Copies of this chain bind each other. A is one copy, B any other.
Amino acid sequence: MSEPKKTIAVLGGTGKEGGGLALRWADAGHRVIIGSRTAERAEEAASGMRATLGPAAMLEGAANPQAARAADIVVLSVPFAAQQPTVTEVADALQGKILIDVTVPLVPPRVGHVQLPQGGSAVEGVQRLLGNGVRVVSAFQNISAHHLTRLGEAVECDVLVCADDAAAADEVVALAEAIGLTAWNAGPLCNSVVAEALTSVLISLNRRYKVPGSGIRLTGLPQRAA
């Protein structure tokens, strides 16, 4: 793939999941801006990743609103409780862009039990909050951070990409493929229920079968170039 390189902001990129995605995109040659509540924590995380990837990596840190403003594509990877507050804080900076929501609606302490919001998926609430000026895409909820941070390793888990805008979904499929993942356009945003709920099932399976990171592969679909 020789897609033009993008500037990607990862809000919550100081966390494990967002950090793993940021690391992989920077490693693939994209410019990545780690977002966090404070610019200091964001820059600290970016600096750690630059140490891992070497000086050619384009990785910097910024407070969430500045990160969102500077980016072509914005990724949201925060705890469920911070999802709507963070989106509200950066709403202006998102207009006209794609927002990739990675948030998993886990409700501690019973994170192995599916507890979706009333009325469906959490990401649909984000779309309602942002209005039609932002193309919201749901993806990456099921990829374990454990696997993402091991750069050399293949990730044995497919990505379900859901969006009401099919062209936006295709862009996200390409961004997933750029970091070695297999991704599928799994239908409209309401289908994100599966990806959001599946993480609790995988947590439940990890505990019951004593493994570090279970996942899913789709079957019966055409072979894809990685």
Which residue from B191, B204, B219 sits with its C-beta under 8 Å from A215?
A: B219
Bound Cα distance A222, B210 (Å): 9
Bound Cα distance A186, B197 (Å): 12
Q: Are B191 and A193 in contact (CB under 8 A)?
A: no
Q: Are B157 and A113 in contact (CB under 8 A)?
A: no
A114 and B204 in contact, given A211-B220, A215-B218 (Cβ under 8 angstroms): no
- A-side interface residues toward B, CB under 8 Å? 112-116, 118-121, 156-157, 160, 184-188, 190-191, 193-194, 197-198, 200-201, 204-205, 208-209, 211-222
Bound Cα distance A208, B119 (Å): 26
Residues of B within 8 A of A222 (CB): 209, 211
Q: Are B197 and A191 in contact (CB under 8 A)?
A: yes
Least Cβ–Cβ distance between A115 and chain B, in angstroms = 7
Q: Are A114 and B216 in contact (CB under 8 A)?
A: no
Residues of B within 8 A of A157 (CB): 219-220
A197 and B197 in contact, given A184-B205, A220-B211, A221-B209 (Cβ under 8 angstroms): yes
Least Cβ–Cβ distance between A224 and chain B, in angstroms = 10
Residues of B within 8 A of A214 (CB): 218-221
